[in-house]
């Protein structure tokens, strides 16, 4: 019984071939490509408005040198948002519940921001490892602590996204299983459990959107430190 709860996090496969790549690329096919018409439909208008809003919110704290990252961060935000929301549908697979995928997104982007800081302003980037005015006996310990906190950033990005989505999916499955099991025995309690499940689903929709935003926002803050 316990193993069945985690079956939803198993990567689907067909003839032994993992289908996680299709699960990652399919959400991008749902986003219509922009056209050059003056008059567009409502879907294209809403899409353009959302992309403009996301880009504006991400680029406000950054300087002009960092605006070249706008396409990368906006595309990442759109990808995570669509994958997280589509993963809440029944009989679907959520690639962002896999720690390997989240780390594959977090580590290269974090490393790119760190290397950008070392290339453009090496003294300031390395200066974060040792706060100004530190007593001499504490210098080795503080350098070790700051280095550890710096290297743990990509791990925190990946684990945060994985843990929040995995916990939400498990909680939804547990409550839905309880509602079905209680239906023939205690219908009233089952209806109450179902209403709680509906509220939890709305909460998970908000969590899916917030976690995608937090993932990209932290990357933009790391970029701000290094530019």
Q: What is the pLDDT of residues 210-219, one digit of tens each?
A: 999 999 989 9
Give the chain's domain count.
Answer: 1
Is residue 112 domain-resident? Answer: yes
CA distances from 19 to 39, 92, 125, 183 (A): 38, 12, 40, 35
What's the distance, CA 217 to chain centroid? 10
Is residue 52 domain-resident? Answer: yes
- Mean pLDDT computed over 2-27: 66
| Tokens, residue 185 | 């025995």
Is residue 12 domain-resident? Answer: no
Question: How far is it, in rounded angstroms, from Cα 131 to Cα 138?
Answer: 11
Is residue 14 domain-resident? Answer: no
Which residues are CB-contacts of 215 (< 8 A; sequence separation ≥ 6)? 76, 80, 105, 106, 157, 160, 161
Q: Which residue has the tokens 């209806």?
A: 191
CB atoms within 10 A of CB 24: 15
Domain of residue 98: give its range: 19-226
223 within 8 A of 125, measured Cβ to Cβ: no
Is residue 4 domain-resident? Answer: no
Question: How far is it, in rounded angstroms, from Cα 24 to Cα 214?
Answer: 20
Is residue 175 domain-resident? Answer: yes
- Write down the pTM of the prediction: 0.81
- Of 37-41, 155-159, 185-189, 192-196, least confident by mean pLDDT is 37-41
Is residue 199 domain-resident? Answer: yes
Is residue 6 domain-resident? Answer: no
- Mean pLDDT computed over 104-126: 85
Residue 1 binned pLDDT confidence (cut-offs 50, 70, 90) = very low
- In tens, the pLDDT along 49-71 reads 888 888 888 888 777 877 888 88
pLDDT for res 160: 92
- Of 40-44, 109-113, 205-209, 220-224, least confident by mean pLDDT is 40-44
């Amino acid at each position: 019984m316990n193993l069945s709860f985690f079956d939803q996090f198993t990567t689907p496969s067909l003839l032994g071939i993992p289908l996680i790549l299709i699960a990652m690329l399919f959400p991008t096919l749902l986003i219509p490509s922009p056209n050059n018409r003056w008059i567009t439909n409502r879907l294209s208008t809403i899409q353009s408005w959302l992309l403009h809003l996301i880009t504006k919110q991400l680029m406000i704290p950054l300087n002009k040198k960092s605006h070249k990252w706008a396409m990368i961060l906006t595309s990442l935000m759109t990808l995570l948002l669509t994958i997280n929301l589509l993963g809440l549908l029944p009989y679907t697979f959520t690639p962002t519940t896999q720690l390997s995928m989240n780390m594959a997104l977090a580590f290269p982007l974090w490393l790119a921001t760190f290397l950008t800081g070392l290339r453009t302003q090496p003294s300031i980037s390395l200066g974060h490892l040792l706060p100004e005015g530190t007593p001499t006996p504490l210098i080795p310990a503080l350098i070790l602590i700051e280095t550890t906190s710096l290297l743990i950033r990509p791990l925190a990005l990946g684990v945060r996204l994985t843990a929040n989505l995995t916990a939400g999916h498990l909680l939804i499955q547990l409550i839905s299983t309880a509602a079905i099991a209680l239906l023939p025995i205690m219908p009233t309690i089952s209806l109450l459990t179902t209403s709680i499940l509906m509220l939890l689903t709305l909460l998970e929709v908000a969590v899916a959107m917030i976690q995608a935003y937090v993932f990209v926002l932290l990357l933009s803050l790391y970029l701000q430190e290094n530019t």
